[in-house]
Amino acid sequence: MNGLWTAITTGFTAFTATNLDDIVILLLFFSQVNAVFRRRHIVAGQYLGFGALVLTSLPGFFGSMLFPRPWIGLLGLVPIAIGMSRMLSQVEEQMESTEAMQPSEQPWFASVLSPQSYSVAAITFANGGDNVGIYVPLFANCTWESLAAILGVFFSLVGVWCYSAFQLTRLPVAAETLTRYGNQLVPFVLIGLGILILVDSHTLENRGLATLTLAISGLILLMLLRNESRMAVTTPEREEML
């Protein structure tokens, strides 16, 4: 019983220490909820992303690592890409959200398979480089019983984190501020998060990975600019058809 209590306490401490920054990200996600981006997408994406982090860390339980930390840092490019995409297409997204019709209710598993959930999961996973660095040695020192207890605490706290962030957005001051400035703030937060992941993971200290990061970033930017130019051309044609 003492070992179980120790595992629960360890799981709570490890989760809290590695996921405090997720509260800020979740606050921004919940402030962006609309007819297309639902609360269930955020919760499903958070569980998917955190589950992927746990799976990546589990090799530590078997005494090996799946990826070196600098390579995991390359995942910082995911929030950077999403942030740049949102920055370049804010006007288009606002127009589409204004014109969007209320979607019909879908079964719960459709939320898990939606692109919105995948986007949340990708950001959650990319923000978890530090999590992997802590979970791998933590799992390596676990027995089967303590591992099950820690994982139970982890996945319970994911729900607590989502609920807490949602409740915070319902506070009048927080809700008004996030509603007014959230759309403009989110791209910069995502890009900053990606840069922080790259720096904290020491990815840019490796010349090869730094070069690869710059190359991928440039390619992503070119693709986004190309897509935006195509949208700029097709939008007038769509308006004429309407």
Domain ranges of the chain: 2-241
- pLDDT tens-digit series, residues 95-130: 444 444 344 455 544 555 677 888 888 888 887 776
Looking at per-residue confidence, does 144 or 113 come out higher?
Answer: 144
- pLDDT tens-digit series, residues 40-91: 889 999 999 999 999 988 876 665 445 677 777 787 787 788 778 877 766 4
Determine if the pTM surpasses 0.95: no
- Where does residue 96 rank: exposed (0-12), middle (13-18), buried (19+ CB within 10 A)? exposed
Q: Report the range of poorest mean pLDDT among 23-27, 48-52, 140-144.
A: 140-144
pLDDT given at position 10: 86
